[in-house]
Chain A
Amino acid sequence: MRAVYLDNNATTPVEPRVLEAMLPYYREHFGNAASRNHRYGWIAEEAVDKAREQVAKVIGASSKEIIWTSGATEGNNTAILGVARMYAEKGKHMVTCKIEHKAVIDPCKFLETQGYEVTWLDPDQTGCVSVDQVRDAIREDTILVSLMFANNEIGTIHPIPEIGSLCKEKGVLFHTDATQAFGKIPIDVEAMGIDLLTMSAHKIYGPKGAGAVYVRRRKPRVRLQPIIYGGGHERGIRSGTLNVPGVVGCGAAAEIALQEMPTESVRIARLRDRLWAGLNEQLSDITMNGHPEHRLPNTLNVSFLYIEGESLMMGISDIAVSSGSACTSASLEPSYVLKGLGLGEDLAHSSIRFSLGRFTTQEDIDYTIDQVVEAVNHLREMSPLYEMAQAGVDPSTAEWQRH
């Protein structure tokens, strides 16, 4: 028995090189980066500035445009609530999408209770929102468009450059939650017309509890009203003593991700495609969720028809994956992302997300294929839906006694 980790969209292990970079800032260099008048503070500040450069470089930004946060949830809240409050006089309308992360959906829902209006765009069946949809949604009083760079569950990548230039043309700010895309695929805030961007360290082999939001300083200069008040750190946008080791880890992780992106994205995509090909070869009735091409190199979301996702996870218990099944969520609702694609709830219940990472090997993938195939066959053997389908009855058109 071995352990295989294919849940890298949930979190990643801290890369040893990143941890090494962080350790001195827990030990001898423990200073407060805001202490301006002694060596301890200077050393911490220098490390923070270096990390700012490292993160900025990944997205073609200037280091002055990087604001440290505790992670992507705070970053998204900072950007969305910050724009809403700062530009309320200009307008109170925003545009976003139904399959964003909860860290975008929930602040937008909160704003709806505060007199703002939000247009919730429906993605197509691949999880993509089109430029035309965004154009049609923008109004005179629109102040922000917030669309994720790539979706965490299915990996679909939005047409970011096109949406960015549309927003420029319309004079509307553009925020993108790039938590899953940062460090995995090329991003350039200038070429793509991005005004605000969220990233998180723990998705790129950095520590949990650290992240950043990019806030454009020129053309236009984006202003945010803070959601946290205090000592005026981070240009007053995010008060609070910096988590210096976390920030250092975030920077180191970003630098490594950028360096390795050209080779890693190819290697990982090849493994992901090997996984899909292996499953598809040995199993009938499976479908891939998300966009077939415009997709993160590491993400594969599959629905295994006629079996339920949690039971499949139980059958491959030494492989860590996640499922859109209701049984794996606290709310007992199946994935709103998969439901949002309009594919039917049964496909959501039967879905598994495999998210590969830097430490995934070909042996891991081959082992996973074997284990999944065995578990799916075991479960279909006892599935009444599979039995119906084999007898030529479509379970989706049958009559059911609902609970």
Chain B
Amino acid sequence: MAYSDKVVDHYQHPRNVGSMNQSAPDVGTGIVGAPECGDVMKLQIQVDDDNRIIDAKFKTFGCGSAIASSSLATEWVKGRTLDQALQIRNTEIVKELALPPVKIHCSVLAEDAVRAAIADVKKKRERAEADKETVSTK
């Protein structure tokens, strides 16, 4: 089974490899998978006050298709609002990277990582709002 050119390109030149400060209020972090399953993806987004993703980073332990899926996901989320980023479907990743059926789980993991990162930053914001309200009612 040969890899598609796009998978090879993302593997050789992964976009947005890196890490952000996990505790920053405008950063959302999604970590999905487990080492004994052979895949771990960490995807992070930085979100501005208008809920727009201004930067994204990833680190992935996994096969070439998992690396390519997460690399592509960081490219796609950049510039989108959180709601727009939630629209990203694993099937689009499969199509873009021409993943074979046996590698579909890699794209699912990437979609999950995006969702987990969005959920994380939303939770942080809700908590911040709640804290603000508590302060104002005092």
Chain A positions near chain B (C-beta within 8 angstroms):
306-308, 310-311, 314-315, 325-327, 332, 334, 344-346, 349, 381-387, 395-396, 400-403
A388 to chain B, nearest CB (A): 9
Partner of B34, one of A326, A327, A403: A403
Q: Judging by beta carbons under 8 Å apart, are B41 and A384 in contact?
A: yes
Closest to B8 in A: A314
Residues of chain B lying within 8 A (CB to CB) of residue A385: 35, 40, 61
B31 near A326: Cβ-Cβ < 8 Å: no
Q: Name the B residues within 8 Å of A381 (CB-CB).
A: 17
Query: In the assembled complex, which residues on chain A have CB atoms less than 8 Å from the CB atom of B37?
Result: 326, 345, 402-403
A314 touches B40 (CB 8 A): no
Q: For the complex, is B93 an interface residue (Cβ under 8 Å from A)?
A: no
B42: which A residues are within 8 A, CB to CB? 384, 387
Provide the bound-state CA to CA distance between A385 and B8, in Å: 22
Is the beta-carbon distance between A306 and B3 smaller than 8 angstroms?
no
Chain B 93-130 against A: per-residue CB contact (8 Å), 1 yes, 0 no?
00000000010010011001000100000000000000
Bound Cα distance from A383 to B63, whole angstroms: 11
* Chief secondary structure at chain B's binding surface: mixed
Enumerate B1-53 residues with CB–CB distance to A below 8 Å: 3, 8, 11, 14, 17, 19, 31-42
**Provided the pairs A315-B11, A381-B17 are in contact, do residues A325 and B63 lie with their beta carbons within 8 angstroms?**
yes
Query: Which residues of the other chain, B, contact A311 by a CB distance below 8 angstroms?
Result: 11, 62-64, 66-67
Q: 16 A-B Cβ contacts within 8 A?
A: A311-B11, A314-B64, A315-B11, A325-B38, A326-B37, A327-B63, A345-B36, A381-B17, A382-B67, A383-B59, A384-B60, A385-B40, A385-B61, A387-B59, A400-B34, A401-B34
Residues of B within 8 A of A400 (CB): 31, 33-35, 40
Which of these, A306, A310, A349, A384, contacts B36 with CB under 8 Å?
Answer: A349
The answer to whether A308 and B33 touch (CB under 8 A), given A382-B14, A382-B17, A384-B40, is no
Contact B38 A308 (CB under 8 A): yes
How many A-B residue pairs lie within 8 Å, measured between CB atoms? 91
The bracket for how many chain B residues form the interface is 20 to 34
- Closest chain B residue to A387 by CB distance? B59
Known A327-B38, A345-B36: A310·B61 in contact at CB below 8 Å: no
Q: Are B31 and A382 in touch, CB under 8 angstroms?
A: no
Residues of A within 8 A of B32 (CB): 401, 403
Residues of A within 8 A of B109 (CB): 403
Q: How far is the CB of B136 from chain A (nearest CB, A)?
A: 35
- Bound CA span A383–B38, Å: 12
- Of the residues A314, A327, A383, A395, contact of B60 by C-beta under 8 Å: A383
Query: Which residues does chain B contribute within 8 Å of A310, judged by CB atoms?
Result: 63-64
Q: How far is the CB of A258 from chain B (nearest CB, A)?
A: 38
Chain A residues with CB below 8 A from B66, complex form: 308, 311
Across the interface, which residues of B come within 8 angstroms of A402, CB to CB?
A: 33-34, 37
Contacts of A395 in B (CB 8 A): 35, 40
| Interface pair B31/A384, CB less than 8 Å apart | yes
Minimum C-beta distance from B2 to chain A (A): 10
A314 to B14, CA, bound (A): 14
Chain A nearest Cβ from B109, distance in angstroms: 7
Partner among A308, A325, A332, A401 whose Cβ is within 8 Å of the Cβ of B102: A332
Q: Report the Cα distance A387→B11, complex, angstroms.
A: 18
Asked if B36 and A344 make an inter-chain contact with CB atoms under 8 angstroms apart, the answer reads: yes
A382 to B39, CA, bound (A): 13
